[in-house]
Amino acid sequence: MTSRFKAVIFDLDGVITDTAHYHYLAWKRLADSVDAPFDAAFNEQLKGVDRMGSLDLILARAPRTYTLEEKRALADAKNTHYQQLIATMTPDDLLPGALRALEEVRAAGLHIGLASVSRNAFTVLDRLGIRDRFDDVVDAATIVNGKPDPEIFLTAAAHLGVDPKDCLGVEDAAAGVASIKDAGMFAVGVGSPEVLHRADRVIPSMDAFRLQDY
């Protein structure tokens, strides 16, 4: 199978695996500790936002303000709890269709990149047993600006040696789709067309991903 693209760059959370529930549990415990209201609906606002950005959104609802040092301690506590949760992950936690998509892209001879704002991306990939499937991984430690800034996808394209216009990006969050589009790439959104309205194509799940469709 041939493709008009030279590389496919995937997001991690919500595309390759679903760590959203683990993030929810970790953020919920933190929010409870600072008396900030937190529920599943508010948690949706954190999708695609980096750790400190998510923390700022939560603390904006807390009854008092926090110093930078206190924020760092809270972020570290959240991450420690999250790491404990993801330590239980296995290859069974790959989302349906994710592994087939990776295999399809590889079979087509395209480069495969990962663009994740998670600082635990490598740990998750190792737990899933798919770290070697990616030619390059760009995580939060590699970049200055998180999504929706295009930096993370531009960095991934540069590492892969591919022009952004020759890249296809796959994301499940509006901020991620914005990052892909502003990087000058073709965007495939996974989820709701109403939420991912900037995507060039929207599919309901990775089970529906077919490289030949793009």
In tens, the pLDDT along 179-195 reads 999 999 999 999 999 99
Q: What is the structure's pLDDT at 1?
A: 66
Average pLDDT of the segment spanning 30-48 = 91
Annotation marks residue 182 as catalytic: no
Q: What is the structure's pLDDT at 166?
A: 98
Average pLDDT of the segment spanning 82-105 = 95
The residue among 150, 167, 131, 132 whose CA lies nearest residue 8 is 167
Which pTM does this prediction carry?
Answer: 0.84
Which tens digit of pLDDT belongs to each residue from 113-124?
999 988 889 999
Amino acid at residue number 192: S
* Contact status, residue 108 vs residue 1, Cβ threshold 8 Å: yes
Phi, psi for 110 (deg, rounded to 5): -90, 155
Catalytic residue among 13, 50, 136, 182: 13
Annotation marks residue 93 as catalytic: no
